[in-house]
Amino acid sequence: MLLSGNPPRGKLLTALIVLIVAALAFAPFILQGSKPLNVAATICVFALLVASYDVLLGYAGIVSFAHTMFFGIGAYGVAIALYGLGPSWTSILIGLLAALLVAGVLALAIGLFSLRVQTIFFAMVTLAVASAFAVGASQLSWLTGGEDGRTFSTPALLRPGYRLVENGPFGVEINGRTLTYYLVFFGVVFLFLLLLRIVESPFGRVLQAIRENPFRSEALGYRIVVHRTAAVVIGALFAACAGALNAIWLRYTGPDTTLSFSIMLDILVMVVIGGMGTLYGAIVGAAVFVVAQNYLQALMGVAFKAINAAGLPFLAGFFNPDRWLLWLGLLFILSVYFFPTGIVGKLRAETK
Amino acid sequence: MSDALLTLSGVHTHIGRYHILHGVDFSVPKGRTTMLLGRNGAGKTTTLRTIMGLWRASQGSINFEGASIEKMDTPDVARAGIALVPETMAIFSDLTVRENIVLAARDGPPDERRLAWIFGFFPALKKFWLSRAGTLSGGQKQMLSIARAIIEERKLILIDEPTKGLSPAIVGALIECLQELKRGGATILLVEQNFRVAQEVGDLVCVMDSGRIAHAGAMADLAADDKLQQRLLGLSLDSHQ
Amino acid sequence: MSAAESQTLDAGAALPQQKTDYVPILLPFALALVAYPFVGSFSTWLTLTLAGLAMGMMIFAMASGLTLVFGLMDVMNFGHGAFISVGAYLAMVAIAPMAGYAHTDALGPGLLALLPAIALAMIGSAAAGYVFERVLVRPVYGQHLKQILITMGGLIVTEQVLYAAFGPQINPLPRPEALHGSIDFAGAAIEKYRLFVVIVGLVVFALLQFLLTQTKIGLLIRAGVENKEMVEALGYRIRRLFVGVFMAGSALAGLGGLLWAFNQEQAHASMGGEMMVLTFIVIIIGGLGSVGGCFIGAVLVALLNNYTAFLLPKAALVSTILLMVVVLLWRPRGLYAVTSR
């Protein structure tokens, strides 16, 4: 059926996933205004991005800090093509294919080069390569627009000005934005199901076996480097797709929305909080994180004002909404400690 | 046995998911050399590592000089007076021979007289005193590993297959060294596959099989009894000559 | 085999050659020489080389602890950069009351003004290192994946705490007057501060080498890098040693942060994270666990960075990545491979 023979397991969890997916599916009709729809689209894109990262972290046991690089390659590919070749579907296709090619080759090179050694080495190398890439992208301004990034137009069908139905269900107008949202949503659903297929295939099982016991797997004849590199390449390709969808949604690509290290941290937090090694964790993690990002910051703003008013400016500094990464970081550390299976793991354990 | 320095009773050890020792019982009497024999995989190395605290006994007790040591950390076991010469020799190859010995002498600079005594049967160590240990030959590394264990007087010396892979000439030098140690009154627990060595230096013998002690007695009795040898050790005896 | 083996028993056998590997040591010199014709002018080349050396010393201070901690306990601290930032901020705190000294031109008082800053930066970072080790590293000891994630989390939290305590702005941090300006040498302007940094860096390296080769603690550290189980079997508590090394490494990172902050004349909490990338590249090039390799790697990376920044400004960071790739293609485990890992 829909979930390719790998249901989320656990009633609570299934209910939660169904709820999130349903909310996302009907988002344009439930939520009014552009900001909530933006939140929904962000959740979709990040669910895919985090799921592709989970293939590395949760299934293969590889820590990569270059995932935003592949995300960025996808976003820049589409952006550069739409900007340079004009707003057509062909441009999107060309940009996407070029991005997939670049991401795949780069992932292959990094994987073959540094996966022979241990986890730590790969993590360090990817961190170095990703930061060099970020610097490079902001310097090649003739191509990437530098720090300012690229703003571009999408094909006519996807522009806000395009009106398909003036008065649709619930009295909502279906316009180009709505169509773009559904392009993102169904793109993500399709790619997510594809990822599920991959991790449930024999290949996915071998990855897990390698993570559990590399020596034994090697003895059984599995080529560790080949499998791990394949995982890195798959992760990179899906991340690039997520990047492309993100670019189409935002109609803008810049270093801050794709390559910055803080997005890498967001991915890490989402995958850990959602639950590693489950893919479903990506949906939960992305939804919880993106919603909390707004909610927590608002809450901190209230606390900040209250403590400031109480005359404790030093203490208030810790509750400044700009310091929300502090609390997120603490949450992240505590989750890794006490909550390594994340929300998904907890829910499964509850209902077992 | 009242003169037992070390006594293992009912020791079980798990390494990961694998259950290696299934209730090991034996004692090492003071001032004697006890051989620990057995086929590959019988649990000899695991026994030594468990005594040393490098692997934790999951069950049973290890008694050393009347105190239980099975819960102690390795450094404390070492400080209680037990030295280990591991199967891998584990010399520090980046350090010189001198530096290896300096580290092994915990209580201060190495004693000159004792050093001279060691150089007596391991002259190569004197010769390569300032060379990096990594440049030594296999036999010399083994000598260094043993020298580290005896540079200060220890109550019990655990030695794991010292003759493995060495030429007969060096095996001879090692036997000489072990006999010299015995004359000095040392207590030794020696794992060995080479029956000739076992015969020459062993006073007592324990034979292990599948994580248990299958036989314990005097070395001379085992050496004299071909049938017993055959039964306990199979063909592994002669193949390692 | 037996003939050769038995021969070495008697005193007549040939002395095994103890080869010190000199090739990596020559690399920085070779790089400086190769760069010369491209740069063209001697004075520019000298300025760039000195700037590179100074930067190399700072990176070395930041990275040396990281490589030792990894070598000794197989712990890669992705939050090591936090100590760099902590050092920079503590320098800022300690230099403030010394303003009187800092504003005189004389070298003596100028350096004196730095002393409390250096002391506070190092002690403070060491203390931060102790907390880090206790709270973050110890509980996930031996679990690489969690180690990477948690120490990374530690970096974020430390950065944010610094922002919360000192504000989000970039803090100006002027050098003491005495270390401003430059000396003329062969037509090249030799910046005093860079000279100072090179001297400090060389002293740190010499002290570390002395500690590692001439003291028992140093021997224990080197032995532990190779085989920590055997060090324990000899009766030494390696945990305590590890905590000590972790704190010392943090203190050095704090010193590196101070030097870097005065070099940039500003302190900012994101400095640590930014420098982390370079420190990683450096210890990978040097060989994980090797202090000597780390030193050479730091000088190499910094020289290359300065030369390319002059010749091809946009290629600086990319060139360091390329350097790493080339070194690893030549020696897959870095210039000096000390650990078996």
Decide if B103 and C225 are in contact by the 8 Å CB cutoff: no
Mean pLDDT of chain A: 87
Q: Where are the domains of chain B?
A: 4-83+154-240
Instruction: Give C169-173 contacts, CB < 8 A, sequence gap 24+.
Output: C170/C266, C170/C267, C170/C268, C171/C89, C171/C92, C171/C266, C171/C267, C171/C268, C172/C265, C172/C266, C173/C88, C173/C91, C173/C92, C173/C95, C173/C261, C173/C262, C173/C264, C173/C265, C173/C266, C173/C267
CA triple C276-A45-A231, angle to 5 deg: 60
Does A318 lie at the interface with C, CB-CB under 8 angstroms? yes
Nearest CA-CA partner of A332 in A270, A277, A290:
A270
Instruction: Provide the phi-psi class of C287: left if phi over 0, else alpha when psi is between -120 and 50, else beta.
Output: left
Q: Å from C336 to nearest chain B CA?
A: 11
How deeply is B158 buried, as exposed, middle or buried, from its count of CB atoms within 10 A (0-12, 13-18, 19+)?
Answer: buried
pLDDT value of position C339: 59
Please tell me the least confidently modeled range out of A332-346, B199-213, C151-165. A332-346
Q: Å from B135 to nearest chain C CA?
A: 6
Q: Is residue A68 a part of any domain in this protein? A: yes
Does A265 lie at the interface with C, CB-CB under 8 angstroms? yes
Please tell me the least confidently modeled range out of B165-174, C42-51, C282-291. B165-174
Q: Is residue A265 a part of any domain in this protein? A: yes
pLDDT digits (tens, 9 = 90+) for B114-154: 999 999 889 999 999 999 998 999 899 999 999 999 999 99
Does B151 lie at the interface with C, CB-CB under 8 angstroms? no
Residue A145's φ and ψ, nearest 5 degrees, are 85, 5
Interaxial angle between packed helices C238-264 and C216-226, expressed in degrees from 0 to 180 and rounded to the nearest 10: 100
pLDDT digits (tens, 9 = 90+) for C91-120: 999 988 877 766 777 777 778 888 999 999
pLDDT digits (tens, 9 = 90+) for B21-55: 999 999 999 999 999 998 888 899 999 999 999 99
Q: Is residue A64 a part of any domain in this protein? A: yes
Decide if C223 and B103 are in contact by the 8 Å CB cutoff: yes
pLDDT value of position A2: 46
Q: Nearest by CB to C2, from B73, B75, B169: name it.
A: B169
Decide if C234 and B104 are in contact by the 8 Å CB cutoff: yes
Q: Å from C13 to nearest chain B CA?
A: 9
Mean pLDDT of chain C: 88
Question: Which residues from chain A sit within 8 angstroms of residue C280, using beta carbons?
Answer: 124, 127-128
pLDDT value of position B168: 86
- The residue in chain C having the minimum alpha-carbon distance to the alpha carbon of residue B108 is C216
Q: Nearest by CB to C144, from A119, A127, A328: name it.
A: A119
Is 3.40.50.12280 the CATH number for B4-83+154-240? no
Does A118 lie at the interface with C, CB-CB under 8 angstroms? yes
Q: Is C1's pLDDT higher than 60?
A: no
β-pair type (C188-191, C182-185) = antiparallel
Q: Hey, which residues does B217 pair with through a beta bridge? A: B205
Question: Domain tally for chain A?
Answer: 1
Question: Which residues from chain A sit within 8 angstroms of residue C281, using beta carbons?
Answer: 128
pLDDT value of position C31: 94
Q: Å from C3 to nearest chain B CA?
A: 8
**Residues ≥6 apart with Cβ < 8 Å to C277:** A127, A128, A131, A132, C317
Does B94 lie at the interface with C, CB-CB under 8 angstroms? yes
* Coil, strand or helix at C103: coil
Q: Å from B169 to nearest chain C CA?
A: 6
- DSSP-H helix ranges across B34-137: 44-52, 74-79, 97-104, 112-121, 123-127
Question: pLDDT grade, residue A118 (50/70/90)?
Answer: low
Question: pLDDT grade, residue A246 (50/70/90)?
Answer: very high
Q: Å from C6 to nearest chain B CA?
A: 6
Q: Is residue C138 a part of any domain in this protein? A: yes
Question: Residue A149's CB: how many other CB atoms inside 10 A?
Answer: 24
Mean pLDDT of A226-245: 95
Question: Which residues from chain C sit within 8 angstroms of residue A333, using beta carbons?
Answer: 136, 150, 153-154, 157
Instruction: Copy the structure tokens of residue A105.
Output: 């080759």
Find chains touching chain A: ≥3 CB pairs under 8 Å. C
Q: Å from C292 to nearest chain B CA?
A: 13
**Higher pLDDT, residue C104 or C63:** C63
**Higher pLDDT, residue A305 or A230:** A230
Instruction: Give A331-335 contacts, CB < 8 A, sequence gap 24+.
Output: A331/A269, A331/A273, A332/A268, A332/A269, A332/A272, A332/A273, A332/C149, A332/C153, A332/C156, A333/C136, A333/C150, A333/C153, A333/C154, A333/C157, A335/A272, A335/A273
Mean pLDDT of C158-170: 91
Best mutation target among B15, B135, B167 (most C Cβ atoms within 10 Å) is B167
Q: Is residue A328 a part of any domain in this protein? A: no
ipTM of this model?
0.91
Helix (H) or strand (E) run with residue B209 in it: strand B204-209
Decide if B92 and C227 are in contact by the 8 Å CB cutoff: yes
Q: What's CA A275's distance to the chain center, in Å?
A: 14
CA distances from A339 to A332, B180, C146, C329 (A): 9, 58, 12, 40
In terms of residue numbers, what domain contains A87? Answer: 24-277
Cα B157 from Cα B32, distance rounded (Å): 11
Question: pLDDT grade, residue C18 (50/70/90)?
Answer: very low
Residue at token pair 């989320």: A8
Best mutation target among C2, C5, C241 (most B Cβ atoms within 10 Å) is C5
Cβ C224 vs Cβ C72: under 8 Å: yes
- The residue in chain C having the minimum alpha-carbon distance to the alpha carbon of residue A57 is C145
**Higher pLDDT, residue A175 or C198:** C198
Half-sphere exposure of B38 (CA within 13 A, CB side): 23
Question: Domain tally for chain C?
Answer: 1
pLDDT value of position A61: 87
Question: pLDDT grade, residue C281 (50/70/90)?
Answer: very high
Residue at token pair 């076996």: A209
Cα C66 from Cα C282, distance rounded (Å): 10
* Coil, strand or helix at B194: coil
Q: Is A30's pLDDT higher than 70?
A: yes
Please, what is the end-to-end C-alpha distance for chain A in angstroms? 23
Question: Which residues from chain C sit within 8 angstroms of residue B168, using beta carbons?
Answer: 2, 6
Q: Is residue C34 a part of any domain in this protein? A: no
pLDDT digits (tens, 9 = 90+) for C211-226: 998 999 999 999 998 8
Residue at token pair 């302190």: C267
Cα A87 from Cα A155, distance rounded (Å): 5
| CATH number, domain containing residue A168 | 1.10.3470
Instruction: Copy the structure tokens of residue A317.
Output: 């500094």
Q: Is C340's pLDDT higher than 80?
A: no
Does C234 lie at the interface with B, CB-CB under 8 angstroms? yes
Decide if C150 and A261 are in contact by the 8 Å CB cutoff: no
In terms of residue numbers, what domain contains C236? Answer: 43-330
Residue at token pair 């076992």: B198
Q: Nearest by CB to A128, from C70, C168, C280: name it.
A: C280
Does B226 lie at the interface with C, CB-CB under 8 angstroms? no
Cα A271 from Cα A55, distance rounded (Å): 10
Q: Is A33's pLDDT higher than 80?
A: no
pLDDT digits (tens, 9 = 90+) for A295-322: 777 888 888 888 888 877 778 878 888 8
Cβ B86 vs Cβ C230: under 8 Å: yes
| CATH number, domain containing residue C208 | 1.10.3470
Q: Nearest by CB to B75, from C10, C222, C232: name it.
A: C232
Decide if C229 and B54 are in contact by the 8 Å CB cutoff: yes
Instruction: Copy the structure tokens of residue C88.
Output: 């920079």
Q: Nearest by CB to B99, from C4, C219, C238: name it.
A: C219
Q: Å from B51 to nearest chain C CA?
A: 11
Q: Hey, which residues does B38 pair with through a beta bridge? A: B208
Between chain B and chain C, how many beta carbons pairs sit less than 8 Å apart?
A: 99
Mean pLDDT of A48-77: 94
Question: Which residues from chain B sit within 8 angstroms of residue C4, using beta carbons?
Answer: 137
Q: Is C6's pLDDT higher than 90?
A: no
Cα A240 from Cα A237, distance rounded (Å): 5
pLDDT value of position A300: 84
Does B214 lie at the interface with C, CB-CB under 8 angstroms? no
Does A112 lie at the interface with C, CB-CB under 8 angstroms? no
Residue at token pair 């994946």: C145
Q: Nearest by CB to C6, from B52, B79, B170: name it.
A: B170
Mean pLDDT of C123-140: 94
Cα B225 from Cα A102, distance rounded (Å): 74
Does A139 lie at the interface with C, CB-CB under 8 angstroms? yes
Please give the single-letter amino acid code of residue A33. Answer: G
Question: Which residues from chain C sit within 8 angstroms of residue A318, using beta carbons?
Answer: 161, 164
Does A88 lie at the interface with C, CB-CB under 8 angstroms? no
pLDDT digits (tens, 9 = 90+) for C85-97: 999 999 999 988 8
Does B136 lie at the interface with C, CB-CB under 8 angstroms? yes
Question: Which residues from chain C sit within 8 angstroms of residue B95, using beta carbons?
Answer: 219, 222-223, 226
Residue B35's φ and ψ, nearest 5 degrees, are -90, 140
Strands (DSSP E) found in A131-258: 150-151, 163-165, 174-175, 252-253
Mean pLDDT of A249-264: 90
Does C17 lie at the interface with B, CB-CB under 8 angstroms? yes
**Higher pLDDT, residue A7 or A201:** A201
Between chain A and chain C, how many beta carbons pairs sit less than 8 Å apart?
A: 108
Question: Which residues from chain C sit within 8 angstroms of residue B103, using beta carbons?
Answer: 216, 219-220, 223, 231, 234, 236
How deeply is A209 buried, as exposed, middle or buried, from its count of CB atoms within 10 A (0-12, 13-18, 19+)?
Answer: middle
Mean pLDDT of A86-107: 95
Nearest CA-CA partner of B178 in B137, B207, B219:
B219
